[in-house]
Structure 1
Amino acid sequence: MRHPRDSEAWETFDSLHDWFVKDPRNVRLGLGSDGFNPFGAMRTNYSVWPVVLIPYNRLPWECMKPTSLILSMIIPGAKMPGNNIDVYLQPLIEELKELWHDRVQTLNRFKNEMFTLRAALMWTISDFSGLGTLIGWDVHSKCACPTCNFNTDSCRLKHGGKWCFMGGHRFSERGHKFRLSRAKFNGKVELRDPPTILTWSEILEQLGGINVSFGKELQSSKGKRPRGKNVEEDDESGMWRKKCIFFDLPY
């Protein structure tokens, strides 16, 4: 893939909304976000989350330049926003819905005339921990892989106590020597196919019982924050921490 235009997500979007493609002036956006320490000292407990929009209507060698990026907002705080990032993203989501439904009258400076502009958010860009914050999937437990979902092949290390993820060679082609190699992996032969990508209806079905209260947690009587439910090794009900605010978008 040399450009996001070649991706499956872009082509699927075009097939579902062919009227959007007819006007090349309609804007396609990508959203990138991640937390960092602005003070450069790891001992300083502070995290800043910039939310950046990338317009893909620019030339391929220009759209990722710093001069083309749109700084939508900056989320400051002593800790990472967690589920509350959806609260900060609400104004942006409302603007995106307006750009899709109501459209915006925009000046075409080249022709010196007004035209109706639409915009769509194609995807989000983040590292793995940022992905968990944006979509609400628990990426720190036994089912950390959102693609494998509840079929993630994992085990807890006996002495280290951390989760170890196996079965990555299920993505290899059929007949690959790694699939039959027992000694180099976990002592098993891998005959499974790659996991299938969940449809939006399957994801919504999993999110059916999720009920999240946003905002600061209340202090308990002893001055400690109440702890949430711990996810046991045989419990898969707590993998989703929220219903992502991007589901409010109509596409």
Structure 2
Amino acid sequence: MTDKAMTMILDLLRDAFEDAKLPPFYEAKKTIKKLGLDYTKIPACPNNCMLFWEGDSELEVCKHCGTSKWSSNKKKKQAAKVLRYFPLKPMLKRLFMCSKTAEHMRWHASESNPDGLMRHPRDGEAWKTFDQIHSGFSSDPRNVRLGIATDGFNPFGTMSSTYSIWPVFLIPYNLPPWMCMKHTSFILSMIIPGKQTPGNNIDVYLQPLVKELRELWNDGVETFDSSLNETFRMHAVLMWTISNFPGLGILSG
């Protein structure tokens, strides 16, 4: 949907609901940026060979297959394929901006499990073994443990169009079981464009996420914990992937 169409819808809603305080669309977009909900557009090769990103951002054609970076639309110069990437660090830092959520991010370490039953991944052997191997990471319960899930779907639903778009989600497992698997806790990491499934080339699109995960594991990021009113260095780790078997095959290359 274009910005102009969205503005027209907001104008219609203002006419229908006189008491509603709806900002103009450009003001709403500025608010979203302040909340850390903005995304980065990264042009991609139409054949899923590479991202025009970092050192390759100035290239005009794919260095693998020679395909042009630009679409054939002569009226407006635009990339033929665009990855929407939501930077991870601002979203993880935002989990600690609310004091109640910040407390929940320590739940896995503060709550006991007296009967030994498994209700959450923290009760399993994989979690406990990780804690033993990486004691430095586990010494601060605020360090974030993540799972990743991705699959393709047709956004056009009932239409006959053949199209496959791939959202990539992250799940913060620090949260208690009644929170971590709710859709409101999911973190949208990126939207991999169609029309065709990326297949084994999905690793091309995962590069920005892998880079941030490496930085979060090795260096961390300064984060303010509103529940304890202090700043700490937050680290993160990707512990699991969640997918069906075809998706697992693609995700693992």
TM range (shorter): 0.5 to 0.7
Provide the residue aligned with 2:191 in structure 1.
Answer: 74
Query: In the alignment, does 2:138 pair up with 1:27?
Result: no
Q: 1:104 aligns with which of 205, 215, 221?
A: 221
Provide the residue aligned with 2:246 in structure 1.
Answer: 129
Distance in 1 between residues matched to 2:128 and 2:251, nearest whole Å: 24
Deviation at 1:123, TM superposition (A): 0.8
The residue matched to 1:97 in structure 2 has which SS? helix
Distance in 1 between residues matched to 2:161 and 2:140, nearest whole Å: 48
Distance in 1 between residues matched to 2:124 and 2:202, nearest whole Å: 27
Which structure is richer in relative contact order (CA contacts within 8 A, separation 6 or more)? 2
Letter of the 2:238 partner, please give it: L
1:68-217 mapped onto 2 (5 Å cutoff): 68-136=185-253
Distance in 1 between residues matched to 2:246 and 2:128, nearest whole Å: 27
Deviation at 1:110, TM superposition (A): 1.6
Q: 1:49 aligns with which of 141, 166, 169?
A: 166
Asked if structure 1 preserves the Cα contact closer than 8 Å seen for 2:171 and 2:180, the reply is yes
Provide the residue aligned with 2:16 in structure 1.
Answer: none
Asked if structure 1 preserves the Cα contact closer than 8 Å seen for 2:154 and 2:164, the reply is yes
Deviation at 1:102, TM superposition (A): 1.0
Letter of the 2:133 partner, please give it: L
Distance in 1 between residues matched to 2:164 and 2:223, nearest whole Å: 36
CA shift digits 1:199-230 (9 cap, x unpaired): xxxxxxxxxxxxxxxxxxxxxxxxxxxxxxxx
Distance in 1 between residues matched to 2:171 and 2:233, nearest whole Å: 20
Note closer, same or farther for the CA distance 1:18–1:42 as it changes in structure 2 (3 Å cut).
farther
Letter of the 1:93 partner, please give it: V
Aligned residues: 136
Provide the residue aligned with 1:249 in structure 2.
Answer: none
Deviation at 1:6, TM superposition (A): 2.4
Deviation at 1:112, TM superposition (A): 2.1
Deviation at 1:42, TM superposition (A): 6.9
Provide the residue aligned with 1:206 in structure 2.
Answer: none
CA shift digits 1:2-36 (9 cap, x unpaired): 21112332222112101211111000000010111
Provide the residue aligned with 1:62 in structure 2.
Answer: 179
CA shift digits 1:142-168 (9 cap, x unpaired): xxxxxxxxxxxxxxxxxxxxxxxxxxx
Deviation at 1:117, TM superposition (A): 0.4
Provide the residue aligned with 1:156 in structure 2.
Answer: none
The percentage of aligned residue pairs carrying the same residue is 67
Deviation at 1:56, TM superposition (A): 0.8
Distance in 2 between residues matched to 1:57 and 1:126, nearest whole Å: 20
Q: In structure 1, list runs of 5 or more residues that go unmatched.
A: 137-251
Distance in 2 between residues matched to 1:115 and 1:79, nearest whole Å: 43
Distance in 2 between residues matched to 1:35 and 1:8, nearest whole Å: 31
Letter of the 1:33 partner, please give it: T
Distance in 2 between residues matched to 1:104 and 1:130, nearest whole Å: 31
Provide the residue aligned with 1:16 in structure 2.
Answer: 133
Note closer, same or farther for the CA distance 1:6–1:42 as it changes in structure 2 (3 Å cut).
farther
Provide the residue aligned with 2:122 in structure 1.
Answer: 5
